[in-house]
Amino acid sequence: MVAENVVAVTDDSFESSIINGDKPSMIDFWAEWCQPCKMLAPTIHELADDYQGQVLIGKVNVDDNPGTATKYGIRGIPTLLFFKGGQIVHQLVGVKSKAEIKKVIDENLLD
């Protein structure tokens, strides 16, 4: 369920690719059984194409990577966390429109 420009992020790779990564990032916390997550997936893939080279778009499967989900207090999915300089700068919970997500990326992640 990860597209070409979407990075599968794990408990093991989270710190190196997101916290210490060289790009701002948006991480989608999701699960295979989550219907709203499936509804959001095409939007995530489109955003990954739109922001290729500017913003790392990643997905964390909360069932396979409970450590990261617990560390960031993920209680409901889908949850989108936006990181810049290794810090969370914004959070969205639930299914959001592409326009809503783009606005957050443009205002918080791009200089």
User: ∠24-53-90 over CA atoms, to 5°?
Assistant: 25
Which residue numbers are catalytic?
Answer: 34, 37
Considering the entire predicted model, what is its pTM?
Answer: 0.94
Domain ranges for the chain, please list them.
Answer: 6-108
Query: How many angstroms separate the CA atoms of 42 and 58, rounded?
Result: 13
CATH number of 6-108: 3.40.30.10
pLDDT in tens, 16-43: 999 999 999 999 999 999 999 999 999 9
pLDDT of residue 111 exceeding 80, the answer is no
